[in-house]
Structure 1
Amino acid sequence: MKKSFFRLLSVAALLFLLFRPSIAFEGARNGLILWGSIVVPTLLPFMICSNVIVTLNAINILIFPVKKLLHQFFYLSDAGSYALISGLLCGYPMGARTCSDFMDSGRISSKEGRYLLAICNHPSPMFLLGYAASNLPSQVPVSILLLSIYLPILPVSLIAKVIYQVSEPERSLPTSKKSTQSFDDSMMDSCEIMVKIGGYIMLFSILALSITKLPIGVPEYKAVILGLVEITTGIKAISESFSGNLCGLWIAAATAFGGLSGIFQTKSVIKNAGLSIRHYVAWKAFHGLLTIILFILLSRVLELVPFP
Structure 2
Amino acid sequence: MKRNLPGIGIVVLFAVMLISPKAVFNGASEGLLLWFQIILPTLFPFIIITNLLLSTDSIHYISNAVGAVLCRLFKVSENGSFAVIVGFLCGYPMGAKVTADLITSGYVTREEGRYLLSFCNNTSPVFILNFIVWKTLRREELLVPSLLILLGTPMLMSLIFRRFYLKGRRQFEYPDMKKEAKDEKTDWNFRIMDTCIMDSFETITKVGGYIILFSVILELVRSIPWQIPAVTWLLPSLEVTNGIVLIGKSALPLTVQYPAILALTSFGGFCAVAQTQCMIQKTSLSILPYTIEKLATAMVTSLFAFLYITFC
TM-score, structure 1 normalization: 0.91
Distance across 2 between alignment mates of 1:169 and 1:159 = 14
Q: Give the conservation status (yes or no) of the 8 Å contact 2:166–2:172.
A: no
1:148 alignment counterpart: 149
**Stretch of structure 1 that moved more, 26-35 or 51-60:** 51-60
| Post-superposition offset of 1:156 | 1.6
Letter in structure 2 aligned against 1:88 = F
Distance across 2 between alignment mates of 1:139 and 1:42 = 22
1:236 alignment counterpart: 245
Letter in structure 1 aligned against 2:301 = T
2:160 alignment counterpart: 159
Q: Equivalent residues in 2 for 1:65-144 (5 A)?
A: 65-133=65-133, 134-138=135-139, 141-144=142-145
Letter in structure 1 aligned against 2:194 = D
Out of 192, 199, 202, which is 1:182 matched to? 192
Letter in structure 2 aligned against 1:169 = Q
Q: Percent identity?
A: 32
Q: Equivalent residues in 2 for 1:203-218 (5 A)?
A: 203-214=213-224, 215-216=226-227
Structure 2 residues without counterparts, runs of 5 or longer: none
Deviations 1:264-294 (A, max 9, x none): 0100110110101000100000000010111
| Post-superposition offset of 1:139 | 7.4
**Stretch of structure 1 that moved more, 293-302 or 177-186:** 177-186
What is the root-mean-square deviation of aligned Cα atoms in Å?
Answer: 2.1
2:20 alignment counterpart: 20
TM-score, structure 2 normalization: 0.90
Structure 1 residues without counterparts, runs of 5 or longer: 303-308
1:225 alignment counterpart: 234
| Post-superposition offset of 1:260 | 0.7
Distance change in 2, residues 1:170/1:164 (3 Å): closer
Distance across 2 between alignment mates of 1:216 and 1:64 = 54
| Post-superposition offset of 1:301 | 4.5
> What SS does the aligned partner of 1:182 have?
helix
Whether 1:169 and 2:171 are equivalent positions in the alignment is yes
Out of 187, 203, 208, which is 1:198 matched to? 208
| Post-superposition offset of 1:13 | 1.2
Q: Equivalent residues in 2 for 1:32-43 (5 A)?
A: 32-43=32-43
Distance across 1 between alignment mates of 2:123 and 2:60 = 24
| Post-superposition offset of 1:61 | 2.2
